[in-house]
Amino acid sequence: MMLRSKVVLAGVLALSVTGLGGCATKKFVRQEVGVVNDRVSTQETKLSATEQTAKDALARADAAGKLAEGKFNYSMVLSDDSMKFGANKAVLSPEAMARLDAFADKLKSDNKNVYVEVQGHTAANEGGSKQGAYALGSKRAEVVRRYLNQKGVPLNRIGTISYGSDVPVSPNTDAAGREANRRVVLIVLS
């Protein structure tokens, strides 16, 4: 009988230890699950912040894309008597500066989110060669770009391109035609 009671007592003790071990395991699991849940919550918060940053970046990229696509607003040809360039020259006259002042004021009052393309052109006989004509057209466009920047138009909103003598508005057969081709064209995009 004594042996039987010892066996029963040992069985009860073993069952109790197993039961207590199970309770301890549940408590441990709950603690670990709590830690993991906290980590998951932290990662979800970080992921949410990253997702918002990505959405903001996408919105900025979309806006930049729309600006880059550009809708043609208007063009201004600076080739009348006040804006003529001398043969083989890239110097702005006082009259040209006055026209550009008015243009810069118009840009600043119309819309700050515009892009201006400054196209430089030359007459057929300028620059000495095709590459020289491109270089001279580029100098004319750059002179206008720098002047507009001095008047408050941001440089990142102004681009230049030279067409040299490739896009004449008049035949280069006489002096009047060549004079008309020595011009700068401003294209405004929004």
pLDDT tens column, 50-95: 777 767 666 666 655 655 555 555 656 554 555 678 888 888 888 8
Contacts of 134 (CB under 8 A, 6+ apart): 127, 162, 163, 164
pLDDT at 146: 95
pLDDT at 170: 85
| 89-125 pLDDT tens trace | 888 888 888 889 998 888 888 766 778 899 999 988 8
Cα Rg of the chain (Å, integer)? 38
pLDDT at 59: 63
Structure tokens at 188: 């405004």
Q: Is the pLDDT of residue 43 over 70?
A: yes
Cα–Cα dist 136/184, whole Å = 11
Cα–Cα dist 115/127, whole Å = 28
pLDDT at 142: 95
Band of pLDDT at residue 185, cut at 50, 70 and 90: confident
Contacts of 79 (CB under 8 A, 6+ apart): 169, 180, 182, 183, 184, 185
Cα–Cα dist 148/153, whole Å = 6
Predicted TM-score of the model (pTM)? 0.59
Cα–Cα dist 121/17, whole Å = 96
